[in-house]
Amino acid sequence: MTHTYSISDLARELDITTRAIRFYEEQNMLSPERR
């Protein structure tokens, strides 16, 4: 079962900033599923 997170939920869960998540996306370390 796949769980989806909003960027703010993921940031809170991982205790990092939303900007850090955006950076990881830019570096192709994350591949978000856009809805």
Range of the domain at 2: 1-35
Number of domains in the chain: 1
| pLDDT confidence of residue 1 | 62
Give this prediction's pTM.
0.70
**Who contacts 20 (Cβ-Cβ below 8 Å, separation ≥6)?**
11
Longest dimension (CA), the chain: 27
Summarize pLDDT for 1-35 with one digit per residue, the tens.
Answer: 678 889 999 999 999 999 999 999 999 998 877 76
